[in-house]
């Protein structure tokens, strides 16, 4: 069983990954003045620019002191990172809060992060679902061929299992083709969240799923 501080690190990393970011634990990063051991290194891309967040996970029984903020601020500057984040479920001393104000160091907790990023998390999960539908559509479309149409525009009649020509009115579209048409429709932005489940309307079809838990 992993120690509590390690579980806290992995939980923090999972939180950032659930938002579509890259998060790696126990990283050793090289800065201008030396190497630094980082609890969680978070990377992502916004507006075409890559960013790096340095996350320190303080699973302490006491409030985080001012010195921890000063240390992280120095590391962030040396690495050229975009932001430093200190996670603590216990809280922060008043001096630490004052020092972090107006700086690029954020003091927060996992509980607060989940609450503030919940909508973003749902949108990312729905985007992932839409991406899976798109992949299915492309894969299915590449494997299905519409019925051939002879001269004159009438569709060629399929053969039944007895080898005889069946009436076209009895022909039914293959379920795979139906799926291809369904996922080929324009995706709707209608999203509803209730009791931990997400209902997303895709091409006129309601899809309900339970996203992976953040804990």
| Tens of pLDDT, residues 25-40 | 999 999 999 999 999 9
Domain boundary among 81, 116, 151: 116
Determine, yes or no, domain membership for 153: no
State the chain's mean pLDDT as an integer: 77
- 14 and 44 housed in the same domain: yes
168 inside domain = yes
175-184 helix and 118-143 helix, angle to the nearest 10 degrees: 130
pLDDT at residue 57 tops 70: yes
- Boundaries of domain holding 197: 118-143+163-209
**CA 108 – CA 130 distance, rounded (Å):** 31
Q: Is the pLDDT of residue 11 over 90?
A: yes
Task: List, in order, residues 6 or more apart from 55 with CB less than 8 Å away.
Answer: 12, 16, 23, 38, 39, 40, 41, 42, 84, 85, 86, 87
pLDDT over threshold 90, residue 51 = yes
Instruction: Tell which wins on pLDDT, 170 or 17.
Output: 17
- 102 and 137 co-located in one domain: no
Question: Is the same domain home to 129 and 85?
Answer: no
pLDDT of residue 146: 54
Residue 10's pLDDT is 95
Q: In total, how many domains does the chain have?
A: 2
pLDDT value for 108: 96
| Percent of the chain scoring above 70 in pLDDT | 63
pLDDT category, 92, cuts 50, 70, 90? very high
Arithmetic mean of pLDDT, 106-132: 86
46 and 125 share a domain? Answer: no
CATH number, domain at 111?
A: 3.40.1350.10
Average of per-residue pLDDT across 53-76: 95
């Amino acid at each position: 069983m992993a120690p509590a501080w390690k579980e806290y690190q992995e939980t923090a990393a999972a939180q950032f990954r659930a938002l579509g970011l890259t998060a790696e634990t126990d990283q050793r990063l090289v800065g201008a003045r030396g190497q630094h051991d980082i609890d969680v290194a978070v990377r992502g891309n916004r507006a075409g620019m890559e960013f790096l967040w340095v996350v320190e996970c303080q699973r302490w029984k006491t409030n985080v002191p001012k010195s921890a903020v000063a240390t992280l601020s120095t590391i962030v500057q040396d690495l050229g990172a975009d932001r430093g984040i200190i996670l603590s479920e216990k809280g922060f001393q008043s001096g630490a809060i004052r020092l972090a104000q107006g700086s690029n160091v954020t003091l927060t907790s996992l509980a607060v992060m989940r609450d503030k990023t919940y909508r973003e998390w749902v949108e990312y999960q729905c985007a992932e679902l839409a991406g899976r539908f798109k992949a299915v559509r492309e894969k299915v479309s590449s494997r299905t061929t519409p019925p051939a149409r002879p001269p004159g525009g009438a569709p060629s009649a399929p053969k039944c299992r007895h080898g005889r020509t069946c009436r076209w009115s009895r022909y039914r579209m293959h379920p795979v083709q139906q799926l291809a048409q369904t996922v080929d429709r324009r995706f709707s932005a209608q999203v509803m969240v209730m009791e931990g489940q997400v209902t997303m309307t895709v091409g006129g079809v309601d899809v309900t799923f339970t996203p992976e838990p953040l804990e």
